[in-house]
């Protein structure tokens, strides 16, 4: 994918086009992870029930998946439902699961057409069998796709993932001296994927909320005040442009100590 693919999906003369033209397509983040937040506040501002915020958030999911695939990202991970979200009222949880199923039914064809591989990470055994079956079917249908991996974090908790990985390492009989960071990573839900280079959070909150705790060790963080239902291609492109202005040091000294390119 490249500039032409992105331009084909944005209006001519738009801010999206201008940002896209300034991007360096050789220095894109491989993995972008997003904490979708602010659906409830978006709905409250409009005197609507919270679930309407989640419903409107589906359009943002669609737009973000499409733009990410056009950009040529390797992995896009969206935080849809945390282990803590099980504490929400039952009708809100049911509505979220219903929206997820609706999204999958409506979008599976598009995912297949765009060669997108769909995955789910989290404690899936806590989901109801019908939701799990639908997710597993979508994962199986797209398993041989070779384009972008679109991963949904569902019933997901970063600490729970780390504990699950530790359990797996013990079950597989990994000897203490054989356990290093690479071996440990191979037991995470994201095994085989590059760690997120860019973590985006909407609605202005400065928290990581138990999301991909191990994997975001060196991620660049970009926060926007925009509520998730208003998040569109322009915001994603702005985040990537900002990412490209950062000097990633991974704890080492600056490669650009005078800030000449910053």
Binding site for ligand FPP (CB under 6 A): 36-41, 54, 57-58, 61, 78, 80, 85, 96, 99-100, 103, 152, 228
Residue closest to 2 by CA, chosen among 63, 69, 76, 75? 69
CB neighbour list of residue 242: distance below 8 Å, 6 or more residues apart: 222
Q: Between 20 and 202, whose beta carbon lies closer to ligand FPP?
A: 202
Q: Contact at 8 Å (CB) between 41 and 205?
A: no
The rounded Cα 190 to chain-centroid distance in angstroms is 12
Residues forming beta bridges with residue 200, ordered by sequence position: 34, 222
Of residues 23 and 61, the one with the C-beta less far from ligand FPP: 61
Cβ 238 to ligand FPP, closest distance in Å?
20
Complex with ligand FPP: residue 40 or 196, whichever CB lies closer: 40
User: To the nearest whole angstrom, how small is the minimum distance from the Cβ of residue 58 to ligand FPP?
Assistant: 6
Residue 85 annotated among the catalytic residues of the structure: yes
Q: How far is the CB of 51 from ligand FPP (least distance, A)?
A: 9
- Tell me which residue has its CB nearest to ligand FPP: 40
Tell me how far apart the alpha carbons of residues 226 and 144 are, in angstroms, rounded to a whole number: 35
Nearer to ligand FPP by C-beta: 22 or 113?
Answer: 113
- Integer Cα distance of 44 and 120 in angstroms: 29
Classify 14 as helix, strand or coil: coil
- Catalytic site residue 262? no
Strand blocks (E) in 5-74: 31-35
Residue 249 CB, nearest distance to ligand FPP (Å)?
32
Strand partners, 169: none
**Candidates 5, 63, 85, 164; catalytic one:** 85
Active site residues: 37, 85
């Amino acid at each position: 994918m490249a500039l032409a693919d992105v331009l084909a999906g944005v209006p001519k003369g738009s801010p999206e086009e201008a940002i896209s033209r300034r991007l360096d397509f050789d220095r894109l983040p491989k993995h972008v992870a997003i904490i979708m937040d602010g659906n409830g506040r978006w709905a409250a501002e409009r005197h609507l029930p919270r679930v309407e915020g989640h419903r409107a958030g589906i359009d943002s999911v669609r737009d973000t998946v499409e733009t990410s695939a056009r950009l040529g990202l390797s992995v896009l991970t969206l935080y849809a439902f945390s282990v803590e979200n099980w504490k929400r009222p039952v009708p809100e949880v049911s509505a979220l699961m219903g929206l997820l199923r609706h999204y999958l039914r409506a979008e599976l064809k598009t995912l297949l057409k765009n060669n997108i591989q769909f995955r789910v990470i989290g404690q899936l055994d806590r989901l109801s069998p019908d939701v799990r079956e639908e997710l597993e079917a979508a994962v199986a249908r797209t398993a041989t796709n070779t384009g972008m991996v679109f991963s949904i974090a569902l019933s997901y908790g970063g600490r729970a993932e780390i504990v699950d990985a530790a359990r797996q390492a013990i079950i597989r009989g990994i000897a203490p001296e054989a356990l290093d960071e690479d071996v440990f990573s191979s037991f995470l839900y994201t095994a085989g994927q590059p760690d997120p280079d860019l973590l985006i959070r909407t609605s202005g909150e400065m928290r990581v909320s138990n999301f991909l705790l191990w994997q975001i060790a060196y991620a660049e963080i970009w926060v926007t005040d925009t509520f998730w239902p208003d998040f569109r291609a322009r915001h994603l492109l702005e985040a990537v442009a900002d990412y490209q202005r950062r000097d990633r040091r991974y704890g080492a000294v600056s490669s650009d100590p005078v800030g000449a390119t910053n």
